[in-house]
């Protein structure tokens, strides 16, 4: 039996799984993260921690939690956890890959289509009573998607799922960047690995699917936007700080790129000043990438299964640092 802290609301099923395994669970059933001081106090006796991407789990938290053995993040991205520091202290860390891949790719593609065909603007237009006559070239002219070039920045699990939708459903040519060559995706979809500048120059739609790391922080700045086509669309379902949002606003205002769809934000949930007031070809969503009921429940189940395995002395299926710990 271990002491487990669940930092935020995850629904009853995950809590029940942990209690059925006879662990002592402290469940903070709230929908906002704790402040750092509160988290440090709450984690004091914890051996297991279930946390969300809005919980910052850093060395100060580890200092406050001498008995901590394992952290199960309920997300695939883990930029909120100092994994290196956890490893140095022998603490296992896990994430929830795969179960959210298709839902997140669906969302990325929904954003791509909605942006290209200007659906949020169309909806607002109708509700404002502005539709008075059919026009051959109406104010809300969009972009073709079929047969265009899709650039995937980070051809991992979600990047490949977005690419599949583009290539197989919309006849798109796929370019990508990644650290390594993705032979399976190249064979399946005819995708081509290119340099980042080549991807920027050639793509009509650019989908960001890299993790947030020191290398990808502010990967997209005014300099990057200037390398893109003026007709290009940018879709970000990865992490907000990959885009310098002040620069994005400048690029949109100046027509450097055609449009952008953002699911994640630089100072989430805060909005960069000016972003909410800018309406033309800028689509905003409140971090809904994996947000379907089915997928969110699978994420919780996956995180809890990882934690149960780790606390039982097994290697959790989605451990991020198990090899470094042995």
CA–CA distance, 218 with 250 (Å, rounded to integer): 15
- 240 forms part of the interface with ligand NAP (CB under 6 A): no
| Stretch of 30-38, 185-193, 282-290, 315-323 contacting ligand NAP, by CB under 6 A | 282-290
Binds ligand NAP by CB under 6 A, chosen from 7, 80, 216, 302: 216
- 317 forms part of the interface with ligand NAP (CB under 6 A): no
Residues taking part in catalysis:
239, 268, 287
CB of 224 to ligand NAP, least distance (A): 13
159/310 with CB nearer ligand NAP: 159
Q: Report DSSP letters for 45-96, one per residue.
A: T-SEEEE-TTS-B-HHHHHH-TT--EEEESSS--TTB-HHHHHHTT-EEE--
Where b means 16+ CB within 10 Å and e means fewer, 220-239 reads beeebbeebbeebbbbbbbb
| Stretch of 134-142, 205-213, 270-278, 303-311 contacting ligand NAP, by CB under 6 A | 205-213
* 3 state DSSP class of 19: helix
CB of 138 to ligand NAP, least distance (A): 31
- 104 forms part of the interface with ligand NAP (CB under 6 A): yes
Tokens linked to 284: 């905003």
308/320 with CB nearer ligand NAP: 320
73/149 with CB nearer ligand NAP: 73
18/212 with CB nearer ligand NAP: 212
* 3 state DSSP class of 192: strand
CA–CA distance, 235 with 221 (Å, rounded to integer): 14
Residues 106-165 that bind ligand NAP (CB under 6 A): 154-159
State how far the alpha carbon of 163 is from the alpha carbons of 48, 171, 295, in Å.
37, 10, 20
125/217 with CB nearer ligand NAP: 217
CA–CA distance, 81 with 273 (Å, rounded to integer): 27
Tokens linked to 287: 């971090």
- 245 forms part of the interface with ligand NAP (CB under 6 A): no
- 211 forms part of the interface with ligand NAP (CB under 6 A): yes
- 215 forms part of the interface with ligand NAP (CB under 6 A): yes
- For 301, other C-beta atoms within 10 Å of its C-beta total 18
- For 131, other C-beta atoms within 10 Å of its C-beta total 13
Binding region for ligand NAP (CB under 6 A): 76-77, 97, 100, 104, 154-159, 177-180, 209-213, 215-216, 237-239, 263-264, 287, 289-290
């Amino acid at each position: 039996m271990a002491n487990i802290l669940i930092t935020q609301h995850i629904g009853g099923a995950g809590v029940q799984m942990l209690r059925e395994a006879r662990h002592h669970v402290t469940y903070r059933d709230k929908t906002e993260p704790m402040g750092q001081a509160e988290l440090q106090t709450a984690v004091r006796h914890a051996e297991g921690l279930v946390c969300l991407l809005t919980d910052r789990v850093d060395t100060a938290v580890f200092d406050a939690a001498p008995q901590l053995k394992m952290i199960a993040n309920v997300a695939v991205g883990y930029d909120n956890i100092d994994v290196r520091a956890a490893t140095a202290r022998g603490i296992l860390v896990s994430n929830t890959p795969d179960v959210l891949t298709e839902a997140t790719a669906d969302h990325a593609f929904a954003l791509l289509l909605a942006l290209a065909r200007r659906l949020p603007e169309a909806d607002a237009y109708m509700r404002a009573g502005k539709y008075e006559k059919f026009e051959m070239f109406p104010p809300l002219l969009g972009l073709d998607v079929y047969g265009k070039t899709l650039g995937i920045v980070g051809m991992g699990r979600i990047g490949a799922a977005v690419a599949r939708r583009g290539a197989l459903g919309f006849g798109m040519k796929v370019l990508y960047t990644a650290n390594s060559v993705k032979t399976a995706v190249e064979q399946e979809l005819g995708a081509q690995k290119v340099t980042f500048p080549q991807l920027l120059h050639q793509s009509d739609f650019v989908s960001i699917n890299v993790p947030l790391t020191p290398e990808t922080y502010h990967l997209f700045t005014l300099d990057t936007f200037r390398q893109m086509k003026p007709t290009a669309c940018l879709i970000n379902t990865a992490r907000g700080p990959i885009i310098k949002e002040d620069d994005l606003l400048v690029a949109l205002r100046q027509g450097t790129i055609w449009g952008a769809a953002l699911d994640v934000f630089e100072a989430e949930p805060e909005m960069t000043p000016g972003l909410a007031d800018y309406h033309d070809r800028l689509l905003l969503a409140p971090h809904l990438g994996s947000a379907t009921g089915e997928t969110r429940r699978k994420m919780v189940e996956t995180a809890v299964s990882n934690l149960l395995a780790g606390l039982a002395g097994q290697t959790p299926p989605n451990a991020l640092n198990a090899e470094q710990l042995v």
